[in-house]
Structure 1
Amino acid sequence: MAVKKEELFNTVKKRKLGWFGPINKKSWLFPQVGKFYELYHMDAVTGVNELGLIYMKGEWAHSGFPEIAYNRYADALIQKGYKVARVEQTETPEMMSERCKTMGRAASKFDKVVKREICQVSTQGTKTYNYLDGDTGDATSKYILAVCEKTENKEGTSSYGVCFIDTFIGTFHLGQFTDDRHLSRMRTLLAHYTPTQVLYERGRISAQTLQLFNANLTSALKEPLSPGKEFWESSKTLKTLAEEDYFQVDSGDVILPDVIKNMVSENDALGLTASESSDLALRSLGAIIWYLQYCLLDQELLSMRKFEEYKPKDNCDAAMNKRSSFDPKLRHMWSIAIRLCSGPFPSAGSIPNLPSLPLDILIFSMIHSLGSAGKSKNHPDGRAIFYEEVTYSKRKIEDFLTTIEGFRLGTKIVEKFSPSIASLKSKLLTKTVSISSTGSQSGAHFPDITEDLNFFDTAFDHKKAKKDGVIVPSKGVDADYDQALDDIKSIEKELGDFLEAQKKVLNCRSLAYWGTAKNRFQIEVPESAWKNIPNSYELISSKKGAKRFRTSQINDLFRQLMDAEERKDACLKDIMRRIFHSFDERHKKWIAVVECLSVLDVLIALSNYSRAGEGDMCRPEFVLLDEDAKPMLEIRDGRHPCVSRTFEGGDFIPNDTVIGTKDETDEDSDYSESQVVLVTGPNMGGKSTLMRQVGLIIIMAQMGCYVPASKCRLTPVDRIFTRLGASDRIMAGESTFYVELSETSAILRQATQHSLVLMDELGRGTATYDGTAIASAVVKELSEVIKCRSLFSTHYHSLVEHFKHDSNVRLGHMACMVENENDDDPSQETITFLYKFVRGACPKSYGFNAARLASIPEEVIKCAIQKSKKFESSVESNKMFRTVWKTTSSSDLLTLMKTVSLN
């Protein structure tokens, strides 16, 4: 039977189960019952419908699955948008019985229930990697984003505070910015760090922002939080961080991370007031902290102290996001003109494939969590009873040892560069592969981790630990464990010496200790020696022909022995956490190694691309800007970086692209400094490919990579704006034409002289005259006001006529060859695309050829041809009439009349 969640909550509340709070009415509960997780009532119905489980026998609806399968079933529900609360047993039936005996009163039926506690609430944005999970190969960054908005009431602008975190890695991004009415910066954030879950203040977010979330994040979980109570004020956020032990150091003081410290007002000595420029950001952080507390992840993630300031990416002065298997979100900032291939790399066969290294930054987060003493003592997971504990322990050890092996392999890779370091010309590469302890290279970035790796190699028997799932530390690894062993050995020796002394006292060489566990160390005395037993002996037990005794000295030594054994067992139980904590204490070293290997991964990838590229590959030449220099771009024999590698139809046709500088092949010097190139050509002739090719070559150049061209000279580009393709945004209620204009508006407002603009067929989504007028006005703005490098493709030939004498605009087209040219029946023409970008304008777009290739019915094409002729005739007549009307010279008028008579 399915019941409402509220009814279940009321039932649980009456039974006084403290682990079920009001907030968890929103979650699907996975309570552990023995070796299974079971779902009840409406949760069971969900399990059957969504997970394919089957109902179990009983008076109420319930279903379940084995403990070992938790991750598979929980993840399936989470991916469908559900929240899953993992409820673990925190005592066994035996522990429950013992608790009832020590209560001092009669145990009620409620007391006779095994204790259970919620250990974690998992959602799309708060899933973490832990020992319950299997392989991390499919783990991808999934951000949870908190947004706080303040409307400025000035041209529709708003200020935003944002905080987002990838809980797999544990890095918090915190920032505040002002956005335009198009929400350009917010759109950029959502594109770069697409969240799977969004938190916002209920009733305090604008309709425009909410519409943006609904349109761009259709599958994301969006949750409004109560202002103040759940979405904290900045003062409450800072107070919580100061009072809790998230950032507590060994001395007991709380030291905030630098990013948060810089957001605190300088006028508040207590550090409980946010600066004016960071108030919204800290409020967003407060929402994230509250939500992590709700999910029981706050201590685990905040204690990692990984905070970064988020600054909107308004330009491309830094170029690249490389996602290696080491760190899915490690961002490398590359300056222009990095000399990547200036020094010899070791042979490709001598270097293992870096992405295959078993170094996954997700492991760091898991090891930090498992090594936390605070979580072990205070978190419900530290009290949880797992029936598959051995399996989980083996999995933890296997992951840990794989990580250690990955670091050792990474060190060997870097060591292969040692013989070549002196000959490397690249400073970045030299610093990346130089080990800091050698002292031979100043500014070496790769830390020496040899001693650290040796410590973990000898800390315990790896093979035995993987087999048994238990770590037994080697001597010298853990002082408490070593002391306990020494005490046990010393006490056992004293007990042995005492027995030898008693043999002499009783004159009996057959005396021996008897017993196990708590009954150990009873001196068994045979009947023949009873007459010599002193009064200090205390009878404990007996058997036929023998009696067993203890003395006060034995009792004292046995108590000491049991205490030492308890300390030993406690150390063994905690030794895995201590080993992991020791690894986590070296966190900065591990991160430095991963960053160096990631940089090396990128450099080798770029180098391999540069060397393996088909055709000419050149190193870009950057022209430094001075007061007189103007932005320019010169690409000779450029090829599309992607198409050239997948093209199978023959040789790819290279093209020259010259903007803002004199073209050596152009005899007309009037257009030598034209910043706008008006691109025409037949449909399917390669205009869009050319524009994308130029954009990609510039991006690669500013990454420091060789580019597919024989020559590439340019001044640095601060931003690349694109208006390519045509699509609407149905969820946002925006038509294709509106999307075009919105993007164009952002370009005209934000582009600078040093930007690159790529605009493809602007104005196609409206009436011809309107589209032509808008396109003409945009070209004029780009060429006369902004004066940035631009490629503007169009099929509006009136636009070409308008700008053909403008020195700020250069004309170019994609060439084609026409056979059987026939103005009366263009459908019979055969068009051969040459895919060559040449000077001048294309006379026609040859749209009927595209119609024929698309198998439009012949009669439809012929009808279209007739309509086209009539339209062209009408346009030419209107044009001629306007020309005659404006003519004032009699000679010019006579010339026009002759032209009309000839036509």
Structure 2
Amino acid sequence: MVKSKETPMMQQYNEIKSQYHDAFLFYRLGDFYELFNEDAILGSQILELTLTQRNKNSPNPVPMAGVPHHAAQNYIDILVDKGYKVAVVEQMEDPSQADGMVKREVVQLITPGTRMNVNGESVKDNNYLVGITSEDANHYGFAYTDLSTGEMAATDLISTTAVLNELARLAAKEIVIDKILPADLTASLTNLGIMVSTQALETVPDNQANLVQDLSDLSLTAAQILITYLHTTQKRALDHLQPARAYEVAQYLKMDRNSRANLELTVNLRTQQRSGTLLWLLDETKTAMGGRLLKQWIEQPLIDQQNLMSRYDKIEQFMQNFLIENDLQSALKSVYDLERLVGRVAYGSANGRDLLQIRNSLRQIPTILELLEDLDPAVFGGLISQIDPVTDLEALISTAIIEDPPLSVTDGGLIKAGYNDQLDAYQDVMHNGKQWLAELEATEREATGINSLKIGFNKVFGYYIEVTRANIDKLDDNRYTRKQTLVNAERFITPELKEHEQKILEAEEKSSQLEYQLFTQVREQIKLNIKRLQRLAKQIATLDVLTSLADVAQKNQFTRPRLNQKQHLEIVGGRHPVVEKVLGHQSYVANDIMMDQNQEIMLITGPNMSGKSTYMRQLALTVIMAQIGSFVPAQSADLPIFDQIFTRIGAADDLISGNSTFMVEMSEANTALQNATKNSLILFDELGRGTATFDGMALAQAIIEHIHQNVHAKTLFSTHYHELTSLDQELPQLFNVHVGAHEENGELIFSHKVLAGPADQSYGINVAKLAGLPQTLIERATVILNQLETPEQTEIPELVKLTDELDSKTQMSLFDTLPDDYEQNKVVERVKNADLANSTPFQALMLLNELQELLKK
């Protein structure tokens, strides 16, 4: 079959598509964006569109689906949310004036990392695009930006693990690379499911050199990749991009991605939502930009004591002046997302309502400044001096933009009367012209005697006089010219009406054009002040976070922590803030945590469900809260400043990497042992449980000894291996605590109180009973446990044989002399013949004990 020849339009479409093969092409045709071929087939499935065909009667019809141009953004957002790219193709000339095919071009490529429209629950989240380059597997350049806010930062990293930790911290939506990365990182990125795009490196233009002026080495290259990619995809000036902030990971409290996940700082492990996280607890922010900043603080706690003390001072001031704090929060509720509004201004996509949101936000600044001035100037003087109220822009917008502008910026109705004389003249013609039309209608009715005569307008025929067919004979044929025939009426024009029509239409057209011109001038004036607005946004966001932390501290009875440089940790009446919020303040049992300079390892025992993991997590969250500058959930807290937190809490397989629970345990333990310092905090929960009892116990003890002898980090180690509690006799910086529990009328009662010393038993069967296992099973387990705990009543085949041999030995004369190696040979023989594969761990342990006793004799 001969392939049908492509139409000029499809030739144009296919040529553009060949340049954007990895994106959906939204191809503008009149009032619709059309999708063709594979895009149409897949797009109709994802977007639930009707799939049709172009050129249905041709041998090879083209699959086609379309969306209205006014609703396109919703469909684009759906595709981008699902990880696709969308290339928007616009008509670059008026179709009525085009010579041949209308010229079309891609005006923007929207990708997961470059989206500007962020709505709904995502307004308090950043949308990060990351640039990565490398020299080798030990040296990476890493840069990131949020295009919607203009934020940009860059650093150098020294390992694949460090790169993955930063990607996890940022929850990156897309990665841009300039060349092939080391194989292990490439594989890891693939497993993460983050979109990876490629961009050839280009030098940043001279007019944007300030964006990378503080960078060097590979971080400079990574930032250049980002900027190049943004210009390539967005195809417009990006004046809101802020100079890249150079940072080092070591400037903040470091947490690897597993520790962040285990502690549920911003994402609940079970639901993948905010609810039940530290962010959920602390977020009483009133602005979107404050919410994003709070999340950044939680993800990057400080290690600088001076900055932390400054934050404590401000929160304390707010708590002491809660009426001012409440008034500040009320004012902040009326502040819109200045960061993203400024981004839309720079983009040229801000409309009249966006400008009013900027104006309404600026109107709150004098109130905010007035409230701050009533606080201690020694605490807030520096912040007040940095707040620029930007009153000139507030006045400009108030003077120029009407109170209820339309969404469109090209159809008029945006600019206030009195702002521009020429516009006022046009508006006067339009107003007076319409008044004249009303008067003409009354005059014509009187002159003709036709009470139903009316003057109307439509876009095709302009102004007209409409008369019903029954009254046509009353008109003067010399004065009325027929314009349009309807079923039951005729429409006419008169010389007077035609003259005024020209004046009115000309005024309307020129008025709309002038309004758009005036609006863009106002928008450009705001654009010239982007940096001022961005600085103001940062100060308002900071205030929002501080008042939020003060509000939460007040409601939850948090206290100001003390910081020390002595490796002394003392928390009195500490609580897990998230669990407490769920349970209620009266239900949560507070606990102390005491570790002086000579106590490095706390070994925690106690039954399951007693609260060991909660106790460990509450320490980590208390440390993190203290190091973001927050008050903490305790009666009092005296803390060292930690440089890193490592956690291994909970059991999970890493199915993507093919790693078992035990492998994950050992990998996370290794990360801590390799990287922790004496200033770090390590939390290990039930380490070693993923393998055989002896293996697990041996590894747990060896890890404890390694930390004690080599790392010297503050460590909480919970375990069910009661045998490890004797380590306090060998390791002077280790001490035992346990979570209290006791039996009452056959029921297990948890006190959730942490007490000194080791636990006396594990209460495993009691916990199984609480879980609802069948009573017959519980009774059988109790019998077995009693047998195991009473070796002389336990009929283990190997031990029976050993007992028989020992009995025969006792029948020998006490004075008989045995060969020196007799007992050793017997032990060797017994070990060779032992059926260890079919013995329980406890049976094997008892056998070992008997053999050891035999050798001692």
TM-score, normalised via structure 1 length: 0.68
Q: Distance in 2 between matches of 1:93 and 1:754?
A: 69
1:300 aligns with 2:211: no
Identical columns (%): 26
- For the pair 1:797 / 2:722, whether they are aligned, the reply is yes
Q: How many aligned positions are there? A: 680
SS in 1 for 2:321: coil
Q: Structure 2 CA distance, aligned partners of 1:212 and 1:456?
A: 49
Query: CA 1:471/1:13 → structure 2, altered by over 3 Å: closer, same or farther?
Result: closer
**Deviation (angstroms), 1:597:** 1.7
Query: CA-to-partner distance for each residue in 1:94-135, whole Å, 9 max, x for gaps?
Result: 222xxx4xxxxxxxxxx2x22222211222222223xxx987
Check whether the contact 2:31–2:68 (CA below 8 A) recurs between aligned residues: yes
Q: 1:586 to 1:346 in 2, by over 3 A?
A: farther
CA contact (8 A) 2:559 2:634 kept: yes
Distance in 2 (alpha carbons) for counterparts of 1:221 and 1:872: 51
Instruction: Tell me whether 81-90 or 49-58 shows the greater mean CA deviation.
Output: 49-58
Looking at structure 2, the residues matched to 136 and 878 of structure 1 have their Cα atoms a distance apart, in angstroms, of 61
Equivalent residues of 1:149, 1:205 under 8 A apart = yes
> Residue in 1 aligned with 2:68?
66
Whole-angstrom CA distance in 2 between matches of 1:405 and 1:719: 43
**Which of 518, 524, 528 is 1:581 aligned to?**
524
Indicate yes or no: 2:720 matched with 1:742.
Answer: no
1:210 has 2:186 as partner: yes
State the Cα RMSD in Å: 3.9
Question: What are the Cα deviations for residues 813-850 of structure 1, in whole angstroms up to 9, with x where unaligned?
Answer: 00111236xxxxxxxx4211111100110021111112
1:231 aligns with 2:184: no
Determine if the alignment matches structure 1 residue 222 to structure 2 residue 196: yes
Structure 1 residues 55, 18: closer, same or farther in 2, change over 3 A? closer
Q: Are the equivalent residues in 1 in contact too, given 2:132–2:222 (CA < 8 A)?
A: yes
Return the alpha-carbon distance in structure 2 between the equivalents of residues 680 and 50 of structure 1: 52
Deviation at 1:210, TM superposition (A): 2.0
**Cα separation, partners in 2 of 1:431 and 1:12, compared to 1, 3 Å:** farther
Query: What amino acid maps onto 1:163 in structure 2?
Result: A
C-alpha distance in 2 between matches for 1:589 and 1:734: 51
Aligned pair partner of 1:843 in 732, 745, 760:
760
| Aligned-pair CA distance for 1:463 | 4.8
Secondary structure at 2:704's aligned position in 1? helix
Contact 1:211 1:732 in 2 (8 A): no
Q: 1:267 maps to which residue?
A: none
Give the letter for the 1:316 counterpart.
Answer: L
Amino acid at match of 1:291: Y
Q: Which amino acid aligns with 2:114?
A: T
Cα pair 2:124 2:291 within 8 Å, conserved: no
The residue that corresponds to 1:853 in the other structure is 770
Residue 485 of structure 1: CA displacement? 10
**Post-superposition CA distance 1:662-682 (Å, at most 9, x none):** xxxxxxxxxxx2211100001
Q: Would you tell me which structure has more helix in proportion to its own residues? A: 2
* Residue pairs, 1:299-338, within 5 angstroms: 299-301=236-238, 304-313=241-250, 315-316=252-253, 324-326=287-289, 329-330=292-293, 331=296, 335-337=307-309, 338=312
Please give the alpha-carbon distance, in whole angstroms, between the structure 2 residues aligned to 1:464 and 1:841: 71
Contact 1:458 1:474 in 2 (8 A): no
Decide whether aligned partners of structure 1 residues 12 and 656 sit closer, same or farther in structure 2, where only a CA change above 3 A counts. farther
**SS in structure 2 of the partner of residue 304 of structure 1:** coil
> 2-side partners of 1:680 and 1:426: how far apart?
48
- One-letter code aligned to 1:457: S
| Secondary structure, aligned partner of 2:577 | coil
Question: Structure 2, unaligned stretches of length 5 or more?
Answer: 256-264, 266-277, 429-494, 496-506, 795-840
**In structure 2, distance between residues paired with 1:57 and 1:304:** 43
Deviation at 1:466, TM superposition (A): 7.6
1:619 aligned partner, one-letter code: R
- Judged with a 3 Å threshold, the aligned counterparts in structure 2 of structure 1 residues 709 and 291 are, in CA distance, closer, same or farther, namely closer
In 2: Cα distance, 1:426 partner to 1:168 partner: 35
1:369 to 338, 347, 355: 347
Preserved CA contact (<8 Å) 1:720 1:757: yes
Q: What do residues 680-699 of structure 1 show as CA deviations (whole Å, max 9, x unaligned)?
A: 00111110010011111222
Q: What amino acid is aligned across from residue 49 of structure 2 in structure 1?
A: L
1:40 counterpart residue number: 36
8 Å contact from structure 1 (residues 473, 575) kept in 2: no
In the alignment, what sits opposite 1:346? 323
1:175–1:310 CA contact under 8 A, matched in 2: yes
| SS of residue paired to 2:143 | strand
Contact 1:632–1:789 (CA<8 Å) still a contact in 2?
A: no
Distance 1:705 1:738, change over 3 A: same
SS of equivalent to 1:642: helix
Is the 1:231–1:283 contact (alpha carbons within 8 Å) kept by the matching residues of 2? no
| Partner-residue secondary structure (3-state), 2:163 | helix
State whether residues 804 and 811 of structure 1, in contact with CA within 8 Å, keep that contact through their aligned partners in structure 2: no
Match of 1:198 among 175, 184, 198: 175
Measured at CA, do residues 452 and 686 of structure 1 come closer, stay the same or move farther in structure 2, by a change above 3 Å?
same
Q: 1:727 to 1:565 in 2, by over 3 A?
A: closer
- Aligned to 1:25, what secondary structure does the other structure show? coil
CA distance in 1, matches of 2:850, 2:365: 75
Deviation at 1:360, TM superposition (A): 4.1
User: Shift in Å at residue 636 of structure 1?
Assistant: 1.2
Task: Give the aligned residue type for 2:157.
Answer: F
- Given that residues 359 and 394 in structure 2 are in contact (C-alpha distance below 8 angstroms), is that contact kept between their aligned partners in structure 1? yes
Contact 1:141/1:328 (8 A) holds in 2: no
Q: Equivalent of 2:112, from 110, 124, 131?
A: 124
| CA deviation vs aligned residue, 1:385-404 (integer Å, no higher than 9, x gap) | xxxxxxxxxx7101110221
Distance in 1 of aligned mates of 2:170 and 2:632: 28
Give the direction of change, closer, same or farther, for the CA distance of 1:756–1:11 in structure 2 (3 Å limit).
farther
Contact kept, 8 Å, 1:681 with 1:687, in 2: the verdict is yes
Contact 1:19/1:116 (CA < 8 Å) preserved in 2?
no
Q: Describe the SS at the equivalent of 2:342.
A: helix
Cα deviation code 1:471-496 (max 9, x no counterpart): 44787x8xxx779999xx9xxxxxxx
Q: 1:688 to 1:85 in 2, by over 3 A?
A: same
The one-letter code sitting in structure 2 at the alignment partner of 1:29 is L
**Deviation for aligned residue 1:310:** 4.4
CA offsets, 1:438-479, max 9 Å, x none?
xxxxxx22123233322322235445778964444787x8xx
Q: Is the 8 A contact 2:575 2:588 kept in 1?
A: yes
Consecutive aligned runs of 4 or more in structure 1 exceeding 6 Å deviation: 7-14, 133-137, 317-323, 464-468, 481-486, 564-570
Q: Which amino acid aligns with 2:186?
A: L
Instruction: Report the residue type matching 2:590 in the other structure.
Output: P
Contact (CA 8 Å) 2:154, 2:245: kept in 1 or not?
yes
Correspondence for 1:637 among 563, 573, 576? 573
- Report the more deviating stretch, 190-199 or 305-314: 305-314
- Indicate how the Cα distance of structure 1 residues 813 and 884 shifts in structure 2: closer, same or farther if over 3 A, else same: farther
Which residue does the alignment assign to 1:145? 130
Q: CA deviation at 1:178?
A: 1.1
- The answer to whether structure 1 residue 701 and structure 2 residue 626 are counterparts is yes
Q: 1:649 to 1:456 in 2, by over 3 A?
A: closer
**Cα separation, 2, equivalents of 1:735 and 1:454:** 63
* Alpha-carbon distance between aligned partners in 1 of 2:126 and 2:781, rounded to the nearest angstrom: 52
Distance change in 2, residues 1:120/1:451 (3 Å): closer
Per-residue deviation, 1:885: 5.2
| Residue 310 to residue 300, structure 1, CA distance change in 2 (3 Å) | farther
Secondary structure at 2:386's aligned position in 1?
A: coil
Does the residue aligned with 2:669 lie in a helix, a strand or coil?
A: helix
Q: Is the 8 A contact 1:231 1:286 kept in 2?
A: no
Q: Deviations over 1:565-584 (max 9, x none)?
A: 99998764432222112112
- In 2, are the aligned partners of 1:634 and 1:657 still within 8 Å (CA)? yes
| Paired AA for residue 370 in structure 1 | G
Do the aligned partners of residues 161 and 352 (structure 1) sit closer, same or farther apart at CA in structure 2, a change above 3 Å counting?
Answer: closer
Q: Find the counterpart in structure 1 of residue 816 from structure 2.
A: none
Counterpart in the other structure of 1:284: 222
What amino acid sits opposite 1:834 in the alignment?
Answer: S
Question: 1:241: how far off?
Answer: 2.3
- Per-residue CA deviation, residues 268-305 of structure 1 (Å, 9 max, x unaligned), is xxxxxxx6xx1x3344344434433442x154336634
Contact 1:147–1:200 (8 Å) recurs in 2:
yes
Distance 1:795 1:124 in 2: 46
Contact 2:603 2:725 (C-alpha < 8 Å) held by counterparts = yes
Q: C-alpha displacement at 1:703, in angstroms?
A: 3.0
* Mapped partners of 1:163, 1:39: distance in 2: 34
Contact 1:36 1:65 in 2 (8 A): yes
